[in-house]
Amino acid sequence: MTKMPEIDRDKCDGCGLCIEVCSCHVLVLVDNVVEVKERIGCQQCSKWCTMCEMVCPVGAIQCPFDVITEE
């Protein structure tokens, strides 16, 4: 199963910062709460960049995967 960022709907305040940084455009606002639109999108970019998790000011996104960089 493809791992995707997980949204804590109770924490998300709809600021939209995660949407701005997502290069795969898989995040959307629905009723002022972020949802993952395309579950395959984050995988297609082959990055799992975790930018959404890093920019969220309230800790509403968790990326359930590890990013390993090669030297």
Instruction: Name the site residues for ligand SF4 (rule: CB under 6 A).
Output: 5, 7, 12-18, 21-24, 26-27, 34, 42, 45, 47-52, 55-56, 58, 60-61, 63
CB 17, min distance to ligand SF4, A: 4
Distance CA 10, CA 51 (A): 20
What one-character-per-residue DSSP string does 6-46 give? EE-TTT-----HHHHH-TT--EEEETTEEEE--TTHHHHTT
CB 39, min distance to ligand SF4, A: 10
CB 8, min distance to ligand SF4, A: 8
